[in-house]
Amino acid sequence: MNKKKDILILGAGPAGMAAAFELYKAGKSFVIIEKNERVGGLARTFQYGEFRTDIGPHRFFSQNQYLYDFIEDLLDKHWIRIDRLTRFYINGKFFLYPVELKNALLNVGFYGAFRILFDYFSQRIKKVFVNRNPVSFEEQVVSDFGRALAELNMLNYTEKIWGLHCSEISPDWSKQRIKGLSLKEVIKKTIIKSKGGPKTLVDQFYYPDLGTSLIYEKIKERILMYADGVLRFNSHPVKIINDGNKITKVVVNTEGNNQIIKPKFVISSIPITEFVSLLEPKAPDEILQAIKNLKFRSHVSLFITLNKPSVFPDQWIYFPDKEIPFGRIMEPKNFSKKMSPTDKTSLLVEFFCWKNDKIWNMSKKDLLELSMEWLEKLGFVKRDEVIKAFISKENYAYPVYDLNYKENSGKVKDYLGQFKNLQLIGRAGSFRYNNQDHALEMGILAARSIIEEKQYNLEEVGAEEEYFERGYVR
């Protein structure tokens, strides 16, 4: 076997590239198979002439110091720190997000504020008498915040992202993303802010000045200095052959040509559903059924370049109202000035959808028309300011945490656990709602498991029930 193919990495997104970089540093031989023509996966950056954009806002934050050092080593002065400004647009008003007390109370008025406080304290009292674990996202956030604040801030937007009613979404989704934020926290934050306290992971974030995929482009530069051919684009597995104990061979198609790789180890970040469907012999029916039940939410983005220097001051704005067809808009220039020419700017309009639904199948022209109606109403853009529009689609954007996701993904992972030379990493690869930090961490630990001949528990990455954004910017 060619020495360069000892370790087969499937997917060149953040998780796969982090694994590759760690293996490269340890002098191990590997090959990465990537179906696209670029590295970065969901965290890749598109360039259209002088304009750049990511696939949705990519704010880097982590509680792991090692990851900041890992990225700083790659990016040096290209790693910039940004003061966050993000808002919600609800019922014709802009609310700061995360919620700020004064702004929220002014926007909701006296009656709205009374309802928020009444619902919140009713829930606190109810919790004293009824001690029941919430069984859905809806129950969890209503119990933590009271219904009025939950409706204002969380329920509608969550339903827009997931395309499911909040009663059908697992409470796990709120645990690390929202839990720990509470009315008490909002009041505490207001006091800390008024005293000029330290910046938290919510107030500021890091960003590569040429777009988030600069991290992965820099890894690519380094590993390609080491050896040609370790990174294959336009390449995907067509068969994953196993002997019930190990992955023995993988048939890889690169630009139309099949080749057999016999890896000692496989690190996979491709969607877990695709991985199982390629197995030979086939997985048992029960596992194939579990795979069918694991759903991914898709994402369509419309990128519009504009003949004006600025649209709004925010990095992004959320649009929870259901009559508005898109869910979020970001202005890349507010992440880094280098994302647009000085006298121009751009917007990325994001739609959350299912593969093959109406939005997914819409043409660029129709999507632009649908968006422009609202962009004009909101006073953001006039039609004669639009230079060009581009669309991009991601099928596997969000692993869906429905009420049965844990049981289904657990079954599949237990089954794949029999292959002793296989490690599953990343967002779609391990069916975990990872951000870049946890994808990177999983990749690094998978590589170390091979280098140190000691199996790290990848399922523990990001599994803490603590709110992810707790902590301060270093």
Ligand X SMILES: Cc1cc2nc3c(=O)[nH]c(=O)nc-3n(C[C@H](O)[C@H](O)[C@H](O)COP(=O)(O)OP(=O)(O)OC[C@H]3O[C@@H](n4cnc5c(N)ncnc54)[C@H](O)[C@@H]3O)c2cc1C
Q: Kindly list the residues in this chain that would bind ligand X in the complex (CB under 6 A).
A: 10-16, 33-36, 41-43, 55-60, 236-237, 269-271, 274, 299, 394, 397, 426-429, 434-437, 439
Least Å distance, CB 203 to ligand X, is: 15
List, in sequence order, every residue forming a beta bridge with 94; answer none if it has no partner.
89
Shortest distance in whole angstroms from residue 171 CB to ligand X: 21
CB nearer to ligand X: pick between 116 and 444: 444
Backbone angles phi, psi at 430, to 5 degrees: -115, 10
Type of residue numbered 200: T
Q: How far is the CB of 379 from ligand X (least distance, A)?
A: 25
Tokens representing residue 434 in the block: 């990872």
Which residues, other chains included, contact 414 with Cβ-Cβ below 8 Å and sequence gap of 6+? none
- How near is the Cβ of 448 to ligand X at its closest, in Å? 17
> What tokens does 274 get?
């695709």
Minimal distance, residue 54 CB to ligand X, in Å: 8
Query: What is the full DSSP assignment across 27-57?
Result: T--EEEE-SSSSS-GGG-EEEETTEEEESS-
Nearest to 156 by CA among 298, 321, 317: 321
Closest by alpha carbon to 318, among 161, 212, 436?
Answer: 161
Q: How far is the CB of 183 from ligand X (least distance, A)?
A: 25
Q: Which is nearer to ligand X, 56 or 320 (CB)?
A: 56
Nearer to ligand X, 205 or 380 (CB): 205
> Which residue number, 60 or 120, has a Cβ lying nearer to ligand X?
60
Rounded CA gap, 84 and 125, in Å? 35
For ligand X, give the closer residue by CB, 35 or 249: 35
Burial 261-300 (b: 16+ CB within 10 A, else e): bebebbbbbbbbbbbbebbeeebeeebeebbebbbbbbbb
Distance of alpha carbon 220 from alpha carbon 114, whole angstroms = 55
* Distance separating alpha carbons of residues 167 and 157, to the nearest angstrom: 14
Shortest gap between Cβ of 430 and ligand X (angstroms)? 8
- The DSSP bridge partners found for residue 148 are none
Shortest Cβ 7–ligand X spacing (Å): 15
DSSP helix/strand/coil, 442: helix
CB of 116 or CB of 252, closer to ligand X: 252
CB of 123 to ligand X, least distance (A): 30
Question: Which is nearer to ligand X, 36 or 103 (by Cβ)?
Answer: 36
Q: What's the min distance (Å) between Cβ of 396 and ligand X?
A: 6
Length of the chain: 474
As to burial, measured by CB atoms within 10 angstroms (0-12 exposed, 13-18 middle, 19+ buried), residue 409 is buried
Position 238, amino acid: V
Q: Which residue is nearest to ligand X (CB)?
A: 13
The CA-CA-CA angle for residues 223, 229, 235, to 5°, reads: 110
263 by DSSP, 3-state: which? Answer: coil
Q: Which is nearer to ligand X, 14 or 211 (CB)?
A: 14
**Which residue lies nearer to ligand X by CB, 184 or 292?**
292
- The pairing of strands 93-97 and 86-90 is antiparallel
Give the span between the Cα atoms of 48 and 344, in whole angstroms.
13
Cβ nearer to ligand X, comparing 58 with 147 = 58
Q: How far is the CB of 424 from ligand X (least distance, A)?
A: 10
H helices then E strands: how many in the chain? 15, 20
> Quick check: 295 and 271 in contact, CB under 8 A?
no
Q: Which is nearer to ligand X, 126 or 177 (CB)?
A: 177
